Structure 1
């Protein structure tokens, strides 16, 4: 290879502002992870374009009352940047955002990000083998220089995720309401909801966090429920300071806690996979027992709050305070279907009208419309809307037919109902880097390479996972969820465990792709596979082994501490907590 002869891997500057090796759309968890992966492999010639005014993705957009992570914080974080200082097992939105800022600052990512830069469309130029991405500058000051431009790149990465564009329900009369309407993902903190009559449409994972948070301050709160959800206890708690010190000074203990959390959540997939399993029966019983304990002597509410579909069909909600909220005098659960919204409130079936000052839309996102509203045009000008006319699909959820040198994170069939999505994202970033490196190697030689999944392989892969998904609780006929389309096709969720997905992406099989250009023959006929490996985070040994190792480490630390007065004082300070 001729090092840097034709294609220097330098940061994009003023003179080459419209040229980059890689364009990443989105500065959320996926975009940050992809960028760090590139930097760790000495690739600096990339740009992250972010439509918002700051990084964080969903953790910047969603800042409604009570917003927090519903996955254990020690697992919902990068494996390479574990945080020993989480304040809680389930941290709030602001702490999650601070974590992402800390990671971005450590890797100096801000100089690679262009904020207030919205992608309108991207087109593949087959002759130049480049993507031409149309950027609209939405920041008023930046737009004074140029309100739009085209950014050319050798590779395009979508890191926009699935929970990106808010879904606003088409309820008759919604424009007529004279009070305040707020979508949870666009919360207006300038509005004081204290003492107001509030109606909340939706009762999913977001609503289950909002409802207990706003109920104490509302004059009246009415929850409009279409279908109930299965709930399990969160068991949230503050992380005791001695544990934080242990995690900080003995990182192995943090890895072990993370492994335990992953083991438990991986085991929970049995609930989704086998509706008749002991795990499924236990989860259902646990949920019903919690309901009856937290709302005693209210069979009328029990009947409304127990689902008629199996556990895992929709995202299982974890909450310690959702059910008790319905015992408050100022809270009403409305299960009659909504007919319309009036200027004063909401009318339900039977003509009953509820009057409100504020209507909260906890209605989620346009989840089955991946990439919305960005328009993509691939080989021969083929539109993504045409490629996905029968539903979103991709090879391993990462690469898409007819889109050369393109990859996505958190794409079709990579969502989880049981574990941390970050575990999936890290595997995807590693896999995508392997594709990018081959394209850039060709550029280093003054050549080009186009990588596109073989449609036959994509079809075979998706037929296999759809067959598997059809046997899971996701596909239950009584279940309506954001995991699937109206026709029942499950476009969002992965069909197995995280470990199985990690193993799938632990290598690149070049025979999965149509390759054209420099190095294509070498990859397809001689190299055939590139082995990437994976970060193994599930338990490597037993809990008993862990106890012995920790005892040994603490003993060693104690002996070392006794040898020096300063060290001894430090040890005494630690054990005094």
Structure 2
């Protein structure tokens, strides 16, 4: 029974199984953040999270390979509103991140809103009813007995599927003929025994750099197939002792200050990955070269193969202390030749066949195919595929032309090469929830409201972003990366400015940028602005200022104590 609560504060129930105010696709960091904001900012509980896997966590549930960890400090890779004092390492591992996310889901009671093993095959906007019709396929064997497929209608649709969810297999002739074990890093088979095996790993990016140091300890021999070398800088990871964790727990100001320092440092890192002529970029390149030579002394043959020929930042920078040393091991071989094909027994490189027991594909994800393979159809039957035929584009990476009452997180041009993506996600969630608020209010008032960005505004915004990106290291022709499309070189993934710039941009909704129709539209006309604000986490007060303030307070306290002592003696 729903009880006496008013819509949309009443949770979605059995009788309205196929209707909800809001549908969120994805139960990872983005989907959870949006759901929490729905509950807290909009007092809305009439929503459903559709998650195709069997648990929350998104990419941190999918990626369970050996050595899986994050390249952002743990205290920064967490929600600002749910900071964790108990991280055990400076850089968090996959299992610890997943535990954190599960704990957040439990605290905010998100499990009651999630439908697991539910795959979204398509979503279509109905111009007549002003609702989204989401086609859901139930994957769970028992749940599917109640109904294997159904249509879920909603007033607003949120995509929280992210960019790193569809594994990308390498396009190599004969890969399907291999008779040994073949696995993708994002679909790791932990039941497979690596001991004594002859292994090849295709790819040498951040994922491979995490896997290799772990498995090299177990396998008989490992061949690393490198197409393009990567910049590698020191990680300097270390455990966080219990006394520090206690301090973060009982002195939250210290924890907040540490997070602010981390954000400041990472924001400064922006210059290094965006502009190769910047002194910070030159410093990091020098540091990377020194790091390689220190970890591989007297191996100039390897230096030549492992030294990138492109600008730092063009590809994702690898942060590792244990990747480079593996190349000095007797059971490791670096292969830089081109793979011709894969056979039943192994890999043919430059005409030579090498046999393997296991081939690992650390080849990343289908990043430029946003929302793939979901078929999205918007107003007037216009498909997302046709809108994005030249590559993904959205206003602020969030709203898309021809898609009314729709928002996405971690969309086109919102990826970062320098800072924590959670900082971007929180800003996006607040912005989307401000849009949702107006749609919910219209329905409360007995009407319907539709919101979609103006096509020209989307166009001019993306032209501006692309102009900036063309001047960046991301556009270096000397390397290819998952940041851009292979067909036309368009950079569809990365944001061109700092996190603070993005947060400030999303701190207001300028309704002049949107086409609004229906109940309440007259209020949201040209010139009207919704103020959202932002979470300010960067340092506002320097350590020098804090030190001088502390000295001033101490001096004032000493003066008061001295005067009090004089008065006591006079008495």
Asked whether the two chains share a fold, i.e. TM above 0.5, the reply is yes
Q: Look up the match of 2:149.
A: 148
> Do the aligned residues in 2 keep the contact of 1:7 with 1:443 (CA within 8 Å)?
no
Distance 2:549 2:255 in 1: 13
Q: Which whole-Å deviations, capped at 9, do the CAs of 1:319-373 have from their partners, x for residues lacking one?
A: 0100001110000000001000011111111x11221100000000000000000
Query: Where has structure 1 moved over 3 Å in runs of 4 or more?
Result: 4-8, 544-554
Alpha-carbon RMSD across the aligned residues, in angstroms, is: 1.5
Q: 1:447 — aligned with what?
A: 447
**Aligned to 1:155, what secondary structure does the other structure show?**
strand
* SS in structure 2 at match of 1:90: coil
The structural deviation recorded for 1:176 is 1.2
For residues 349-364 of structure 1, the aligned pairs below 5 Å read 349=350, 351-364=351-364
Aligned mates of 2:492, 2:322 — CA distance in 1: 32
Give 2:81's aligned residue.
80
CA contact (8 A) 2:50 2:119 kept: yes
SS in structure 1 opposite 2:504?
helix
Does residue 468 (structure 1) correspond to residue 468 (structure 2)? The answer is: yes
Alignment CA distance shift 1:110-1:379 (3 Å): same
Where do 1:266-305 residues align within 5 Å?
A: 266-305=267-306
Aligned to 2:568: none
| Mapped contact 2:122–2:376 kept (Cα < 8 A) | yes
Matching residue of 1:408: 408
**1:319 maps to what in 2?**
320
Instruction: Tell me the TM-score normalised to structure 2 length.
Output: 0.94
Give the corresponding residue for 2:198. 197
Equivalent residues of 1:225, 1:333 under 8 A apart: yes
Q: Secondary structure at the match of 1:217?
A: coil
CA shift at 1:91, angstroms?
1.5
Partner of 1:183: 184
Alignment check: 8 A CA contact 2:201 2:224 kept = yes
Question: 2:204–2:225: 8 Å Cα contact kept in structure 1?
Answer: yes
1:529 offset after TM fit, Å? 0.4
The answer on whether the counterparts of 2:8 and 2:44 sit within 8 Å (CA) in structure 1 is no
Consecutive unaligned residues in structure 2, runs of 5 or more: 555-571
- Post-superposition shift, 1:174? 0.7
Normalised by the size of structure 1, how large is the TM-score? 0.93
Once residues 526 and 179 of structure 2 are traced to their aligned partners in structure 1, the CA distance between those partners, rounded to angstroms, is 66
* Aligned partners of 2:8 and 2:21 also within 8 Å: no
Structure 1 CA distance, aligned partners of 2:51 and 2:540?
39
Which residue in the other structure is 2:10 paired with?
10
Matches within 5 A, 1:206-355: 206-349=207-350, 351-355=351-355
Name the CA shift for 1:167/1:551 in 2 (closer, same or farther; >3 Å): farther
Could you report, residue by residue, the CA deviation over 1:177-197 in whole angstroms, capped at 9, with x for unpaired residues?
110001000000011111110
CA contact (8 A) 1:448 1:517 kept: yes
CA distance in structure 1 between the partners assigned to 2:53 and 2:345 by the alignment: 33
Per-residue deviation, residues 435-465 of structure 1 (Å, max 9, x unmatched): 0000000000110000000000000000000
1:185-220 per-residue CA deviation (whole Å, 9 max, x = no partner) reads 000001111111010000001000001110011100
Q: CA deviation at 1:273?
A: 2.7
Task: State the SS of the aligned residue for 2:414.
Answer: coil
- Alpha-carbon deviation of 1:544? 3.2
Q: How big is the shift at 1:550?
A: 8.5
CA distance in 2, matches of 1:544, 1:291: 35
Shift in Å at residue 521 of structure 1? 1.8
1:486-521 superposed Cα distances (whole Å, 9 cap, x missing partner): 111000000000000000100001111011101112
User: Is 29-38 or 5-14 further displaced after alignment?
Assistant: 5-14
Pairwise CA distance, 1:548: 7.1
Distance 1:5 1:299 in 2: 71
* Alpha-carbon distance in 2 for matches of 1:250, 1:110: 31
Cα-to-partner distance string for 1:124-158 (whole Å, 9 max, x where unaligned):
01111100000000000000000010000000000
1:189–1:43 CA distance, 2 compared to 1 (3 A) = same
CA contact (8 A) 2:11 2:46 kept: yes
Deviations 1:455-489 (A, max 9, x none): 00000000000000000000011120000001110
Structure 1 residues 496-505 or 8-17, which shifts more?
8-17
Matched pairs, number: 549
Mean Cα deviation higher: 542-551 or 117-126: 542-551
Partner residue in 1 for 2:55: 54
Aligned-partner Cα distance in 1 for 2:547–2:224: 47
Contact 1:161 1:410 in 2 (8 A): yes
The equivalent of 1:384 in structure 2 is 384
Change (3 A) 1:19 1:282: same
| 1:522-573 superposed Cα distances (whole Å, 9 cap, x missing partner) | 11146x100111001110111234557899999xxxxxxxxxxxxxxxxxxx
**Separation of aligned partners in 1, 2:198 and 2:521:** 64
Task: Give the distance between the partners of 1:393 and 1:39, measured in 2 at CA.
Answer: 29
